[in-house]
Amino acid sequence: MTMLKEGRPTAPAHVNKEHPDPATATGNRALMLEEPLIFEIGSTETTGVDFTPVDKPASRLGGLERKRSIGLPGLSEQETVRHYTRLSRQNYAIDLGLFPLGSCTMKHNPRLNEKVARMPGFADIHPLAPVATVQGALAVIHELAEWLKTLTGMAAVAMSPKAGAHGELCGLLAIRAALEARGDARSVILVPESAHGTNPATAAFCGYKVEDIPATPDGRVDLAALKARLGPDVAAVMITNPNTCGLFERDMKAISDAVHAAGALVYCDGANFNAIVGRVRPGDLGVDAMHINLHKTFSTPHGGGGPGSGPVVLSEALAPYAPLPFVEKLADGSFALVEEETAGEHHAGSFGRMVAFHGQMGMFTRALTYILSHGADGLRQVSGDAVLNANYILRSLDSVLDAPFGGSGPCMHEALFSDKGLAEGFTTLDIAKGLIDEGFHPMTMYFPLVVHGAMLIEPTETESKAALDQFIMALRSLAERAKAGDEALKGAPYHAPRRRLDETLAARKPVLVWIEEALAEAAE
């Protein structure tokens, strides 16, 4: 296997003129240790433990006996622990510093949430446990669902989707079921340029033809163009609000009214709900379906070591078509898990089941803990602080970085910049790599696609002014160097475990398995 072991060149003059950064014999840099692959540490010919010889015949294994070596390296416990600990120190994490990724909402996950998720009765329940034995878990799902309906002003919510894109699929399947129920199946989904990239992919996956709707010069949906395209073939419009440019769609109600007048439905990508929670109810804006990324708005981890969660809130028009199962509170105060279609008013036309089980129980407990610890007023402050932090970054940097929509008023939860104005030959990538040397994870690059050389930054509400000031100082310095044509910036990062890699090659021809040199040579 070919290892990427670039040399560590002397640091550029701007880093430290008096004390250059010489290479070391080990490749280590003080406490940042150069870590080989685990196969390079241990030998496949040895083992880290002693096994008692087995005198039973292999025939008793029913043909499952091993035919050849499994090729795993043998290491002692100490070697194994050190290996993974060293690798973990090369990770960037929210517990180390700010994540400026735009459109991702990498916010702090309070430890209280983690403690509750690990409580007996939540962490150790089984999906096939009798309903009578998991009433507390069902109560959590029901209460979280009630909060989500209240905060969005919607009639129903599907709790089973596992992520945002899964939620999009859920919403579109409900829309298709509703249209087919009235005998009006349609074939086109309209997606504005400022929407999230998963929107057209989900629509295409559902068998719809996708058509773009252009944006206005101020980064919002062109209402006139949308109205001109609406017709009997349009099933729905998928709109992100606040949109991917970090702007609130001021014409949202007018968009919904026009879509409904044309017999279509409105799907809202709720990934950016963090910017408006407690302040704007999507249901009041005419939205028919919207997924909510619990990790973005309600501070659950991105996956959390298991399935994520993307509940979908639905309007009255779509509530009967929501997926199964769902939790229902009975007259005696107990809870039932409804897993089959009923002839009643709820889910009478359900499009079916999306998943086997509510496997994201840990996400539900974390999200409800976050909601209850804040309360309605606290959630309103969450969105206000998120918007405040983003605008602080926008106005602190718009004098050194181009802000394409900075003149159209305040942004929402994320600030958007472009590479316009950088010296010839310098790109967004150079600034992103420079941020690594400054100790920060790079911001989202080249997205949204409507802005050339985009730099999308979302500080979230959990960062203090001191943390933001440090990030702003670093980014201002990098922007000034890029505008001045500082060639040393093109070599960044200098202090990371690895230098600049061939990212195109890594994406197109990744090496995902270990192949011993002898085997590789034999294969060639």
pLDDT-derived band at 344 (thresholds 50, 70, 90) equals low
The pLDDT of residue 487 is 96
Q: Which structural domain range is residue 413 located in?
A: 110-496
In this predicted structure, the answer to whether residue 19 has a pLDDT above a threshold of 50 is no
The pLDDT of residue 265 is 98
In this predicted structure, the answer to whether residue 75 has a pLDDT above a threshold of 80 is yes
pLDDT-derived band at 197 (thresholds 50, 70, 90) equals confident
The pLDDT of residue 347 is 67
Average pLDDT, integer, range 47-59? 77
pLDDT-derived band at 15 (thresholds 50, 70, 90) equals very low
Residue 409: both structure tokens together: 């008023």
Instruction: Check residues 408 and 140 and name the one with the higher pLDDT.
Output: 140
Instruction: List beta partners, residue 213.
Output: 192
Let me know if residue 31 belongs to a domain: no
Strands (E), 124-228: 156-158, 188-192, 209-213
Average pLDDT, integer, range 247-262? 97
pLDDT-derived band at 22 (thresholds 50, 70, 90) equals low
In this predicted structure, the answer to whether residue 231 has a pLDDT above a threshold of 90 is yes
In this predicted structure, the answer to whether residue 322 has a pLDDT above a threshold of 60 is yes
Let me know if residue 239 belongs to a domain: yes
Let me know if residue 218 belongs to a domain: yes
Q: Which amino acid is at 304?
A: G
In this predicted structure, the answer to whether residue 6 has a pLDDT above a threshold of 50 is no
Per-chain mean pLDDT for the chain: 89
Let me know if residue 89 belongs to a domain: no
Of how many residues is the chain composed?
524
CA distance 308 to 88: 22
In this predicted structure, the answer to whether residue 304 has a pLDDT above a threshold of 60 is no
Q: What is the pLDDT of residues 420-443, one digit of tens each?
A: 999 999 999 999 999 999 999 999
Let me know if residue 80 belongs to a domain: no
Let me know if residue 76 belongs to a domain: no
In this predicted structure, the answer to whether residue 301 has a pLDDT above a threshold of 60 is yes
Say what percent of the chain tops pLDDT 70. 92
Q: Residue 274: phi, psi to the nearest 5?
A: -55, -25
The pLDDT of residue 524 is 55
**Cα angle for residues 479, 248, 446 (degrees, 5° grid):** 35
Average pLDDT, integer, range 342-361? 79
pLDDT-derived band at 503 (thresholds 50, 70, 90) equals confident
Average pLDDT, integer, range 99-126? 91
Q: Residue 456: phi, psi to the nearest 5?
A: -110, 125
Distance of CA 316 to the CA centre of its chain: 29
- 315 Cβ partners below 8 Å, 6+ apart? 154, 155, 283, 287, 288, 289
CA distance 148 to 440: 34
In this predicted structure, the answer to whether residue 228 has a pLDDT above a threshold of 70 is yes
The pLDDT of residue 155 is 96
In this predicted structure, the answer to whether residue 9 has a pLDDT above a threshold of 50 is no
Which CATH number characterizes residue 461's domain?
A: 3.40.640.10
The pLDDT of residue 47 is 81
The pLDDT of residue 29 is 78
Let me know if residue 503 belongs to a domain: no
Instruction: Check residues 268 and 8 and name the one with the higher pLDDT.
Output: 268
Overall number of domains in the chain: 1
Nearest residue to 409 via CA among 385, 391, 388, 393: 391
- Biggest CA-to-CA distance, the chain: 81
- 134 Cβ partners below 8 Å, 6+ apart? 125
The pLDDT of residue 305 is 56
- 48 Cβ partners below 8 Å, 6+ apart? 42, 74, 75, 76, 77, 79, 80
pLDDT-derived band at 13 (thresholds 50, 70, 90) equals very low
Let me know if residue 12 belongs to a domain: no
The pLDDT of residue 303 is 62
